Structures are given as structure tokens and as C-alpha cells.
Amino acid sequence: MTDNKIELSVIGAANIDIIARCASKSVLRDSNIGKVERSFGGVGRNIVHDCALLGIKAAFISVAGSDSTTLAMMDELAKAGVDTSRVKMSPEYDTGTYVAIFDETGDMLCAVNDMSVTEHISRDYLKSVDIPGRIVALDSNLDSEALEYMTSVPGKVFFADPVSVNKAGRLKGVLMHIDMIKPNIYEASELTGIAIEEEKDIMAAGEKLLKEGVKTVCITCGEKGAYVFSEKESFHAEAPRCDVVNANGAGDAFSAGMLYGMLRGLSLRRMCDFAQCCSAEALSYTGAISPKLNEINIYERMKRTIE
């Protein structure tokens, strides 16, 4: 894939997911019977993989180890169509690890991650590589210095995924450079200092992020849908119905759907509908990346939702 064909760069984490699912009602502080699976993950990695499945020509920029599992991860991305030539791999690094426990309904109980390797996605490393594509998606596994450098690069459109409450704060110093941000209600609360308990709090958080300089804000609220804010319009989009099998990766699929909409020139409302259907597809699959995530299936989901 030549650089002039790349539409999007995704900069962020790649890691190994270890997912434990309770077979029956979960009991805290006790051993639960269930199933444990290993798969490839990381917010940035998941987003770029989903984008490739949606037909987007994308490059991934990250840092990881060079063990056989990580090599297999990169091979999977390359087979999906992702340009992985800018991923720095070294035996000096341990690829990040994410461990999550889900209850019997598929909802997350808690998660722990060891993402220390992302410290090496540094400002100096980012300066050393070219960043292709018009749009750059950033996950806040990057530290504040790296985020400040990247958002100072001229001529780019920036999308930001706050990743988690603990890491969302890293974006506070660069909000004025972000074209679109996609926090959930907990991350939006961390970014704005507004305790979100009801709809009016979501509205206040969205408006505050616009005042901070973000051009478009999309606050996701799980089964309650998403609230979208921009200078031209603000609205609430209900979530499409789906059978929840697994919540892991649903937010990343939503981000990929928004990026698809940005690149394909969809209206903000249609973009959000597309993204929510991407999320529903991820929720309906056992892993973080649904093999059924593609343009045809997502537009079919949108059609069924309207009907």
C-alpha cells in the first residue's frame, strides 16, 4: 500500500487481551466458573482493524514487542489491509496486556491493563515517522507530550478516543486542536469536571467540551445511545436493539464507524447511526473484532433499524 492511498493514520496501543467470562451469576471476591480467552486488542489496534474491515485504507503507528504472538497480531492486521510498516517492534519491549472480567450478561465487571510499552510511542518516535492520511485518530494511551506534539502537526484532522477515565485527562491540554472526540459518560465527566447523573448533565458536558474548542463531541451512553454536539446541531441518537454477547471492543467499533463517516462525508446524524450499528455488530460477537463488520452489513443494520 503506497502512502498516497492511505486515508487515515491510527496512533495508539496494541496489546494482548485476556478475557474472562462468568458462566453464571458472578460472585465478587470468589472464584467463578467461566471461560478464559486470549485475543488481540488495544484501542488503537482495534480501531484500525475495524476501519480496515469497513474498507478504509489505514496505517497503524504503535510500539510493541517482537515475540511470536505480537508478530501474529501484526500479520492479522496486514491481512486485513492495514499498513503496519510504522509499528516499532523490539525484543526490549513487552507488548501491552489487558485483562477483563465480564459477568454472565456480557457486561464488564472490571479490567486491569499493563500498557507501560506505550511510553515508547513518544514525541521523538512520532517525529521520526511520517504520518500519512488526512485524518489522524489518537487514543489517549499516548502521554500528554506525545499528544501535544501530534496535535501540533499542521494540515491534519484529529479524532480522539479518551480510552478510560484514568487516561482521559491527558487530552485536556489539547482539546482546542481536536476535531472530534468520543468519550463515554465517565470519560466526559473526567474531561469536564461535571458529575453526570442525568440528561441535563450530559448536555452540559457536551457544551463545555465545545467551549474548550472541540469541533464535534459524541458522548456515548451504552444502551441509552449517544449525544452529539457541534456548532451547527446537537441531538440524541437512540441505540439500535441488539443481543449483547460481549461488550469488549464495542466502543472501538463505534469510533471506527465515526471515522468512516468522517472520511466518506456522511452527515453527522447518519455518521452516528452508522457508528451505533458498528457498535451493535461488535456487541453481538464474542470477540473484540466482528468478522461481519463491513459496509454492506452495517448499512443493512441501519436499514432494519429505520424499518
pLDDT, tens only, 93-116: 999 998 999 999 888 899 898 989
**What single letter denotes the amino acid at residue 70?**
T
Q: Name the pLDDT band for 3 (thresholds 50, 70, 90).
A: low
Of 15, 10, 41, 160, nearest to 95 by C-alpha is 15
For the stretch 264-268, contacts whose Cβ atoms lie closer than 8 Å and that sit 24 or more positions apart, written own/partner, are 268/216, 268/228, 268/230, 268/232, 268/233
Helix 268-283 with 250-264: angle, nearest 10 deg:
150
pLDDT at 241: 83
Mean pLDDT throughout 175-179? Answer: 98
Angstrom CA distances, 14 to 65, 191, 198, stand at 10, 24, 34
Q: Name the pLDDT band for 307 (thresholds 50, 70, 90).
A: low
| Residue 2 reports pLDDT greater than 70 | no
60 vs 284, residue with greater confidence: 60
| Residue 174 reports pLDDT greater than 80 | yes
Mean pLDDT throughout 30-38? Answer: 94
Grid cell, residue 37, equals 480467552
Phi-psi map region of 24: left, alpha, beta (phi>0 left; psi -120 to 50 alpha) = beta
Highest mean pLDDT among 158-172, 235-249, 291-305: 158-172
Domain 3-13+44-87+117-306 top-level CATH class: alpha beta
| Residue 236 reports pLDDT greater than 60 | yes
Q: Name the pLDDT band for 163 (thresholds 50, 70, 90).
A: very high
| Residue 206 reports pLDDT greater than 60 | yes
Phi-psi map region of 181: left, alpha, beta (phi>0 left; psi -120 to 50 alpha) = beta
What is the pTM (predicted TM-score) of this model? 0.91
Grid cell, residue 197, equals 447523573
**In contact, 258 and 180? CB cutoff 8 Å:** yes
Mean pLDDT of the chain: 94
Collapsed DSSP state (helix, strand, coil) of residue 102: strand
| Residue 162 reports pLDDT greater than 60 | yes
Between CA 290 and CA 303 the distance in angstroms is 19
* All structural domains of the chain with their residue ranges: 3-13+44-87+117-306
Which stretches does DSSP call E strand in 46-128?
A: 58-61, 63-64, 88-89, 96-102, 108-114
